[in-house]
Amino acid sequence: MFNMPISLLRLLTVTTVVMLVAAAGCIGGASSGNSTGSASERTIIDSAGREVEIPAEVDEVICSSGGTCVRYLVYIDAADRIAAVESGEGDSSTNRAYVLANPQFADLPVTGSSRGVALDLEQVMVINPQVIFTVGSQLVSNESSGALTAADTMQTKTGIPVITIASGSFQTAESKQQLYSSFRLIGEVFGKESRAEELIAYIEATLADLERRTCDIPESEQKTAFIGGLSHGGAHGLLSTQSEYMPFIWCRVKNVAAGSGIQSADFPKESLVYADPEYIFVDAGTLNVQDEISAFEDIKSPVYANLQAVRSGNVYATLPYTSRQTNLETQLVDAYFVGKTVYPDRFEDIDVREKADEIYTMFVGKPVFDHLNANCNNLGFEKVPLTKR
């Protein structure tokens, strides 16, 4: 709905405004305190501690950060405020729930590459959004050095307010608080504070539910498992794994790669054979592998034939959640599938597909499990065929 013809008058207006503000030497300038000098503007403090002056009402924004920013705006029910996207954000064959829930992204202008490293600032200024969001993985401060941050530079070049949000994650208590702070910041920008609190409360209740179901399982009774085929910078084969795989941690499943220090790399084949896990999970993102054998094919190799997980048929496919950074909702969805598979008595009341659509609806506004799974050849939450065709 934002892909409207740009008139010559608008182009001239945008150019004139930018030149006048630049000449006044105040492009990107931040006001002091927590108030602004105009009823039509206000000042917010972003995740980097920067004071950013923005309009009182924000209706059109763009993102520069390769997925995370757009995802978070969708989470806070602000998809209709996005005026343009980076390339690939309108791909209906994606594994990203936030894109599947917003097919209108395919009709929006494109501002740059899929990883946010080549944002077309001229195109941005033609679109002329009220605010640009960008994501930083760490909170930074430029108070001591006075050096410009990337957000400062972009703001100076475009004359458009730039808000930095922290990516955060579920990995640690600190990174989770960064995540929640970003949700609240986005909520503040769009006047959707109650939506941010609703989402945070839902996440906390979901994590508490996973904790409640498995917290009393003695270590001696915890099952062992391996997750393979995880994507990082693209699709990979069976041995691509993580030593801290959150669905295992939440469900008290012993990760045979734990302690290896591997976060996005290959686990040694000999180590996997030696560990002999009771369960193997394969991330369906491996379907897109190009430079090596897909995990779905590799697991059929005679090398793994004697693994107890293979002999017992305990090899299952999970949905991919590491497409353009972490898709938090699918991370939670996979946790329920892992729990239901490994400890069925603890998750007896859970229908994993229904739970998946509950989670997707909360995060992205639509029950997209079937669409996402169809993009994974309907392999998600199924046993992996172990015989060669």
Please tell me the predicted confidence (pLDDT) of residue 348. Answer: 98
Q: What's the average pLDDT block by block, 10 residues per block, for the chain (389 residues)?
A: 37 37 37 47 95 97 86 97 90 91 94 65 91 71 55 91 95 96 98 98 98 97 95 77 94 90 75 96 87 88 96 96 91 98 98 98 98 95 85
Q: Which domains does the chain have, with CATH numbers?
A: 8-191 (3.40.50.1980), 217-374 (3.40.50.1980)
| DSSP conformation letters of 176-228 | HHHHHHHHHHHHHHHT-HHHHHHHHHHHHHHHHHHHHHHTT--GGGPPEEEEE
Give the Cα separation of 280 and 36 in Å (integer).
56
Give the Cα separation of 230 and 330 in Å (integer).
13
Give the Cα separation of 116 and 65 in Å (integer).
5
Residues whose CB is less than 8 angstroms from the CB of residue 345 and which lie 6 or more positions away in sequence, other chains included = none
Torsion of CA 251, 256, 259, 263, to 10 degrees: -80
Please tell me the predicted confidence (pLDDT) of residue 261. Answer: 57
> Dihedral of CA 99/102/104/110: which sign?
negative
Contact in structure between 82 and 98 (CB atoms under 8 Å): no
Please tell me the predicted confidence (pLDDT) of residue 365. Answer: 98
Please tell me the predicted confidence (pLDDT) of residue 262. Answer: 54
Contact in structure between 188 and 57 (CB atoms under 8 Å): no
Please tell me the predicted confidence (pLDDT) of residue 16. Answer: 39
Contact in structure between 380 and 353 (CB atoms under 8 Å): no
The rounded radius of gyration (Å) of the Cα atoms in the chain is: 23
Torsion of CA 83, 87, 92, 93, to 10 degrees: -160
Q: Which two tokens stand for residue 317?
A: 């496919």
The residue count of the chain comes to 389
Give the Cα separation of 282 and 316 in Å (integer).
6
Contact in structure between 28 and 52 (CB atoms under 8 Å): no
In sequence order, the β-bridge partners of residue 271 are none
